[in-house]
Amino acid sequence: MQVVKIGKVHNSLRKALTGPNRIQKDKAVAQALTNVEEIRGVLTQGIGEEISKLHHLALRREESVSDGTIEEGVALAGVLYNLAGAMGYRCLQSICASLSDLFVAMSDGGSRSYDSILVHARAAMLASPGMPPLSPEIEQELLGKLKDVVSFAGSGPDRSRTAT
Amino acid sequence: MGMQSRNDALDLSQMNALVVDTDPYATEMLARIMRGFGLKNHSSAFSGESAIQAVAEKKPDLVLVESRLPDMTGSDVIKRIRREENPLIRHMPLIIMTGHTVMADIEMARNSGANIVIKKPVSAAILFDRILWAASTDRDFIETPSYVGPDRRFKSLGPPNGIGRRSTDLSAEVGAASEPNLAQSEIDAFIKPVKIKLE
């Protein structure tokens, strides 16, 4: 017979609801944003450095993209996705999402071509901080082409499966 | 989540949080966000094993875990924590963070026993809401051989459609009636409001 325990448990976070130094949400969020804004320069520089790493990865030109390279690429795409999103670079964030989809497609048995990574790395450069902003039309076209690249690499993830 | 309520404030000054992520930018941003919330004690871990060790040593009040770590997934970390003998560790609030990901990863995170799944990049306002929610929501904690964590069925959506989702749920198959059906007057009598005295 399976033992199933169901009950209330101690939650140490609960004390935060009644503590004497409570901070209202508006004030807490404003302070948090100020704290993050203080390192905007470092984070923006980080975007450039991560894109540069991605470009180097794309230029490796082994026979095919290895499992290790995919793992490295997934991590890089994740860091860039987070940085771009946090700093408000929406187009770059979408490019990184496409890059993540590409690595998923490769892991799932799709074509492991370095060219597909390179095209994403070059697109990321175009959308990086300091570059002239892309017009909405160009941006749409660019993202559409990347989607084609992911589809070509092997059944890009179904949109309905992708979390938004 | 309807968090704009009268109790829209937190005192995290005495709390201790652990952030588990290999991305140094993400850990720095989260640390700054939580310092903005008044949190003074926080630490970071950069792998699953070091996170499990840090949890055992520091017994934080809140743990935020990235879903992808070099040595194991965030879900694996949560499963390990949820199977610790010490209830202080086993029951601690756990938030799992996912990047651009597919729904299957979110399902996996939820089924690992996390209190909350949150999408990166983590917005300060959303993180505050989720911590407030984790602090104020009194969910049942379930311990079974296949799942340890907060009750995943916490929304008031009424009874589920079709067959039950837990192995202990009874079958939803309805057989042929063995007695005469109730008359409308009998049904009305069941649902008629009745005044009762509250003790």
Residue-wise pLDDT tens for chain B (199 aa)? Answer: 444 445 799 999 999 999 999 999 999 999 999 999 999 999 999 999 999 999 999 999 999 999 999 999 999 999 999 999 999 999 999 999 998 876 777 888 889 999 999 999 999 999 999 999 999 988 899 999 999 999 987 665 555 555 556 666 655 555 566 666 677 777 677 676 666 666 5
Best probe of the A interface among B1, B6, B10, B15, by most A CBs < 10 A, is: B10
Cis amide bond preceding B121, omega within 30:
yes
The ipTM of this complex is 0.87
Task: Give the pLDDT of residue B168.
Answer: 64
Query: What's the DSSP call for residue A59?
Result: T
State the amino acid at position B70 in one-letter form.
Answer: P
Q: A104 lies in a domain?
A: yes
Task: Give the pLDDT of residue B2.
Answer: 43
Q: Report CB contact under 8 Å: B23, A78.
A: yes
Task: Give the pLDDT of residue B7.
Answer: 74
Q: B155 lies in a domain?
A: no
Query: C-alpha distances in angstroms, A51 versus A35, B82, B120?
Result: 25, 37, 19
Q: B124 lies in a domain?
A: yes
Q: A127 lies in a domain?
A: yes
The CATH number linked to B113 is 3.40.50.2300
Give the range of the structural domain holding residue B89, as residue numbers without chain letter. 16-136
pLDDT tens digits for A40-76? 999 999 999 999 999 999 998 788 899 999 999 999 9
Give the whole-angstrom CA distance, residue A71 versus residue B70: 9
Binding-face residues of A in 64-83 toward B, CB within 8 A: 74-75, 77-79, 81-83
Task: Give the pLDDT of residue A158.
Answer: 44
Q: A46 lies in a domain?
A: yes
Into how many domains does chain B fold? Answer: 1
Cβ-Cβ contacts under 8 Å for A140 (sequence gap 6 or more): none
Q: B104 lies in a domain?
A: yes
- In this prediction, residues A9-26 reach a mean pLDDT of 93
Into how many domains does chain A fold? Answer: 1
Task: Give the pLDDT of residue B4.
Answer: 45
Give the whole-angstrom CA distance, residue A7 versus residue B17: 25
A159 touches chain B (CB under 8 A): no
Helix (H, G, I), strand (E, B) or coil at A66: coil
A9, A28, A79 ranked by CB distance to B37: nearest: A28
A9, A39, A100 ranked by CB distance to B91: nearest: A9
Is pLDDT of A13 > 60?
A: yes
Give the range of the structural domain holding residue A73, as residue numbers without chain letter. 42-155
CA distance A85 to chain B (A): 6
Give the whole-angstrom CA distance, residue A98 versus residue A143: 8
Helix (H, G, I), strand (E, B) or coil at B40: coil
Q: Report CB contact under 8 Å: A100, B13.
A: no
- In this prediction, residues A125-154 reach a mean pLDDT of 93
- In this prediction, residues A95-104 reach a mean pLDDT of 94
Cβ-Cβ contacts under 8 Å for B181 (sequence gap 6 or more): none
Query: What's the DSSP call for residue A74?
Result: H
Task: Give the pLDDT of residue B143.
Answer: 94
Q: B169 lies in a domain?
A: no
State the amino acid at position B32 in one-letter form.
Answer: R
CA distance B189 to chain A (A): 34
The CATH number linked to A89 is 1.20.120.160
Which element (helix H / strand E) includes B64? strand B62-66
Say what the pTM is: 0.81
Q: B87 lies in a domain?
A: yes
The per-residue pLDDT of chain A, averaged, comes to 90
